[in-house]
Structures are given as structure tokens and as C-alpha cells.
């Protein structure tokens, strides 16, 4: 029995240290020049499961989606040669942005470790979930403009924490809500929220623009809105995107909380396959992370003037709703405030 326990502990330790390796995975860039090429890429990007993919491809992920003609598209895949051939057969000229994604990830991780060791500012490097929570608590203890609160708890019992930065004015003051890190692997998003929290809280009273932003609005900022996924992206799989929900009746883990809102739930761009990176979950708001965001926005009803979800890579501002190109009724007002 004792031997069995020791063996089990060994297996757990082995599983814990084994990271997903992306050696040989490639990132390709291609620019559609004809309507047919664009339609092919759009179709492929909206087939989140292996259905419709070139055969033998195990991973196909659009890091920059096809939108319009002459706009480049980035494709991450385990079989670059096959994908390249497929694109060439459609008359496109793919180029290789990353020949071996794993070596790129290793390089960036080493740069971050070295930068922290060299004493870089907290806001200039990437940090673990625990380090971010410590930073927020310390800021709240030392800066009267900042308070932190828990807006939800994940399946793995981690707090979803939101910082409020306020120069006073009571609970009816107009508010702005920012959320970062819904997709675990998009680390620059988490860092962007931390940067904004730091700038607002330390430069109030020194820079007129920032003073004005705080005097006009209370800021509610959730820098790690998917803590379980974020921790997993540090420890096990740098490119993990979803949360860590255990899906009953499937060996695959995780829900894309960005597909879990009650807005065209299960529609285009979302998958009902738990193994897909865009799996929307069993029902709208089934996930602790999307519930937390819903609840904080409901609590700010009548006060919230803007709610922005920050991701990375696409370099675009997207107005509601992501599933359609139809503009919402208040589109003009939104554009003017951007």
C-alpha cells in the first residue's frame, strides 16, 4: 500500500512537471487577395473542430482572423508543411512567422526571468497569479485610491479579484469596467490591466489627464479574469486558452468563457465540442468567470459608461456584438467615445 502511495505521488509529480511542448509547431502568415481566398480562410476559421480541416492536421488555430481582403491572417498549426501546401493550392503565398513556436516561447520565458532578476519594474514583466494578487493587496494597503474585492471564485477555488480605483464621489459616480485575461494565454492582456491600474493609482494628482480620468470615473479593473486558466498557462501549457472546468462526459477540459455569455449563445464562432478551444459550455453563464463579469456589471447598472474586454494579437477595436457585422444602435456614440 505504501509503495502504491509513493508511486501515485510520483505520477502526480510527473504529470505536474510535464509541460505541453510545441516543438515544430509553426506560425504562418498569409494575405488573401481574392474573394474566394478570403471566403476559404473565413470558412476554415469558423470550423473550430477538425471537421473541414485539411486531413492529418491536429492543431489549427487562427491567431489573427481573416477579416477583409489584403489584410494578413496568422495561422498556428502542428503541420506547417501541409498547411502551406493547402494555402499554395488556393493560390496564396504563405510566409513563416515562427518556424518553431516552442523555441520562441522558451526564449520569451527566459527573457522574462532575466528581466525580473535584473530588477525591472513590476509593470514591465509578466507575473504569476499569486504575484499579481500580492501586488494588488499591497497597492490597496498603501494607496488610498485603491481597494480590492473578490467578484467570484473559480472551480479550482481561486479568487477572481477586481481593483477599484476611485478619487471619491460616492457610489453613483460614473464607472468604467476593464477586464483582462479571459483567454489565459494572452499574457500581455493581464499586463495591460496591471499597467493601467498602476498608472491611474500612482499618477493621480501629477498628470492632468489621469487626474481628470479619475475625477470623472470610478475604475473597476479585473486583471486576471480567468485565474485557473492563467495558472495552467504558467505551469502546464503556455498556450492554454479556456478555463479549467471539468466537462462531464468528455475527456477534454475547459470552457471558452468568451463564448459563455447570453448573447447569441452557441452561435457562429462558438463550438459545442468540449475539446474545441471555442467550446461555449453547456449553457449561457454556466461558468464562474462569466458569472462574475455579469454580476459586477449588473452592480454597476446605471453607472457603467464603458465596459472593455482586453485581449491580444488582433490589433483591433471590436464593438458589440462579436458574432455579427451588423452595427448596434448606439455604434456612433461608441465610436465617438473611443
- Which residues would be at the binding site for Zn ion (CB under 5 A)? 183, 186, 311
Nearer to Zn ion, 74 or 86 (CB): 74
Pick between residue 62 and residue 219 the one whose CB is nearest to Zn ion. 62
Which residue, chain included where needed, has cell 489549427? Answer: 60
Residues with Cβ within 8 Å of residue 289, at least 6 apart in sequence: 152, 154, 160, 182, 225, 226, 243, 257, 260
Min separation Cβ 186 and Zn ion, Å: 5
Smallest distance, Zn ion to C-beta of residue 106, A: 23
Give 90 or 311: the residue with its C-beta nearer to Zn ion: 311
Q: Give min distance, CB of 88 to Zn ion, in A.
A: 29
SS3 of 277-303: the string is CCECCCCCCCCHHHHHHHHHHHHCCCC
Which one, 84 or 289, has the nearer CB to Zn ion? 289
Q: How many CA atoms lie within 13 A of 160 on its CB side?
A: 28
Region of 330 (left: φ > 0; alpha: ψ -120 to 50; beta: rest) is alpha
Q: Which set of grid coordinates corresponds to residue 132? A: 499579481
Residues 28, 97 contacting (CB under 8 angstroms) = yes
Closer CB to Zn ion, 173 or 311, in the complex:
311
**Minimum CB separation from Zn ion for residue 183, in Å?**
3
Phi and psi (nearest 5°) for 63? -85, -20
Q: How far is the CB of 118 from Zn ion (least distance, A)?
A: 30
Amino acid at each position: 500500500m505504501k509503495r502504491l502511495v509513493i508511486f501515485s505521488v510520483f505520477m502526480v509529480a510527473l504529470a505536474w512537471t510535464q509541460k505541453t511542448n510545441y516543438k515544430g509547431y509553426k506560425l504562418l502568415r498569409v494575405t488573401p487577395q481574392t474573394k474566394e481566398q478570403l471566403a476559404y480562410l473565413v470558412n476554415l476559421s469558423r470550423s473550430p473542430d477538425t471537421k473541414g480541416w485539411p486531413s492529418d492536421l491536429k492543431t489549427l488555430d487562427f491567431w489573427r482572423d481573416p477579416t477583409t481582403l489584403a489584410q494578413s491572417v496568422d495561422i498556428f498549426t502542428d503541420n506547417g508543411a501541409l498547411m502551406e501546401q493547402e494555402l499554395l493550392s488556393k493560390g496564396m503565398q504563405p510566409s513563416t512567422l515562427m518556424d518553431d513556436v516552442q523555441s520562441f516561447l522558451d526564449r520569451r520565458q527566459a527573457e522574462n526571468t532575466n528581466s525580473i532578476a535584473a530588477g525591472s519594474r513590476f509593470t514591465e514583466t509578466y507575473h504569476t497569479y499569486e504575484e499579481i494578487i500580492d501586488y494588488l493587496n499591497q497597492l490597496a494597503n498603501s494607496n488610498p485610491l485603491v481597494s480590492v474585492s473578490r467578484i467570484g471564485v473559480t472551480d479550482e477555488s481561486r479568487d477572481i479579484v477586481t481593483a477599484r480605483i476611485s478619487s471619491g464621489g460616492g457610489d453613483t459616480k460614473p464607472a468604467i469596467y476593464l477586464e483582462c485575461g479571459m483567454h489565459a494565454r494572452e499574457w500581455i492582456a493581464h499586463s495591460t490591466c496591471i499597467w493601467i491600474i498602476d498608472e491611474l493609482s500612482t499618477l493621480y494628482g501629477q498628470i492632468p489627464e489621469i487626474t481628470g480620468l479619475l475625477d470623472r470615473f470610478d475604475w473597476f479593473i479585473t486583471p486576471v479574469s480567468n485565474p485557473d486558466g492563467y495558472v495552467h498557462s504558467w505551469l502546464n501549457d503556455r498556450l492554454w486558452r479556456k478555463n479549467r472546468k471539468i466537462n462531464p462526459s468528455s475527456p477534454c477540459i475547459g470552457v471558452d468563457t468568451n463564448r459563455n455569455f447570453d448573447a447569441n449563445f452557441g452561435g457562429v464562432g462558438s463550438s459545442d465540442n468540449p475539446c474545441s478551444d471555442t467550446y461555449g459550455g453547456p449553457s449561457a453563464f454556466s461558468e464562474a468567470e462569466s458569472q462574475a463579469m455579469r454580476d459586477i456589471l449588473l452592480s454597476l447598472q446605471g453607472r457603467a459608461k464603458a465596459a472593455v474586454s482586453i485581449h491580444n494579437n488582433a490589433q483591433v477595436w471590436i464593438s458589440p456584438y462579436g458574432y455579427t457585422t451588423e452595427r448596434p444602435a448606439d455604434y456612433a456614440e461608441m465610436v465617438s467615445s473611443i
